[in-house]
Amino acid sequence: MKNSLIYLFVDIDIGDILKQFKTVDFTINDAGDYKELSMLTKIGENDSIEKIKATFAERAGKDVCFDDPFYLTSELLLKAGLTLSTVESCTGGLIGKRLTDIPGSSRYYDGGFITYSNAAKAALGVDKNIIEKYGAVSEQTAYRMAEACLKNSSADISVSVTGIAGPDGAIENKPKGLVCFGLATVNGIKTYKRRFLGSRALVRKASANFAINLVKKQLI
């Protein structure tokens, strides 16, 4: 038997895709706007695997990965000769950890900031008025986090993440699993907002993977 993973970064109905491949066993780790699928196939069923990949690629485009998104992004950064910096709140350094798990990461990873509290965000350079007006978990704050991260590093790209991982209860009248992201380059800053479902650990994992996929999409 052969086990393969699919990382999906968009909340789409995939039931019809799974029904097409009855000889493949799928296990789904569903976090809403992030899904991780494990495919168990018999040795020699490469044809089925390639058809599955083609079907997902047609449906999800750049929002699907057939390998570890951190590994794919590291390869793209190396190929482009660019460096990345990170600023994390709810993920608490998980993105930086996953990046530095890869040997040779010093060639493309400049460094990271963990700004878990509002005071830490302000110390990095995020305007306190922005946090007070929109909240720590907002696209506006994610924008300023990515902006400040790029300014305080020597990287070419920065990515930020700020959200509510749980375990329960709402913060700032916002639901558990709400996560905001910022992606900054010399050409500007983009923000994103997603809602992830599941445990605290799953929300953090989904957030880290989603953030690195934003960098991957920027590089493609």
Q: What CATH number should be reported for the domain holding residue 20?
A: 3.30.70.600
Domain termination residue (choose one: 18, 39, 65): 65
Residue 22 has a pLDDT of 78
- What range does the domain containing 56 cover? 2-65
Residue 102 has a pLDDT of 95
Same domain, 77 and 179: yes
Same domain, 61 and 115: no
Domain termination residue (choose one: 13, 47, 65): 65
Same domain, 25 and 124: no
Spatial separation of the C-alpha atoms in residues 22 and 106, rounded to whole Å: 44
Residue type (1 letter), 168: D
| Sign of the Cα pseudo-torsion (72, 74, 80, 86, in order) | positive
Of 50, 107, 57, which Cα lies nearest the Cα of 83? 107
Spatial separation of the C-alpha atoms in residues 6 and 40, rounded to whole Å: 11
Same domain, 60 and 84: no
Residue type (1 letter), 193: K
Note the helical H segments in the chain.
15-20, 46-60, 69-80, 94-100, 118-124, 128-134, 139-151, 200-219
Same domain, 177 and 92: yes
Same domain, 140 and 101: yes
Domain termination residue (choose one: 65, 81, 99): 65
Average pLDDT of the segment spanning 25-37: 91
- Does pLDDT of 172 surpass 80? no
Same domain, 49 and 90: no
Identify the burial level of 157 via C-beta atoms within 10 angstroms of its C-beta, where 0-12 means exposed, 13-18 middle and 19 or more buried: buried
Same domain, 94 and 76: yes
Residue 33 has a pLDDT of 93
| The two structure tokens encoding residue 143 | 């924008």
Same domain, 130 and 42: no
Same domain, 47 and 73: no
Same domain, 129 and 156: yes
Percentage of the chain lying above the pLDDT 70 cut: 95
Residue 110 has a pLDDT of 96
pTM: 0.92
Average pLDDT of the segment spanning 141-161: 98
Same domain, 96 and 195: yes
Q: What is the count of structural domains for the chain? A: 2
Mean pLDDT, rounded, of the chain: 92
Please give the residue that has the higher pLDDT: either 38 or 24.
38
> Residue 169's pLDDT band (boundaries 50, 70, 90)?
low
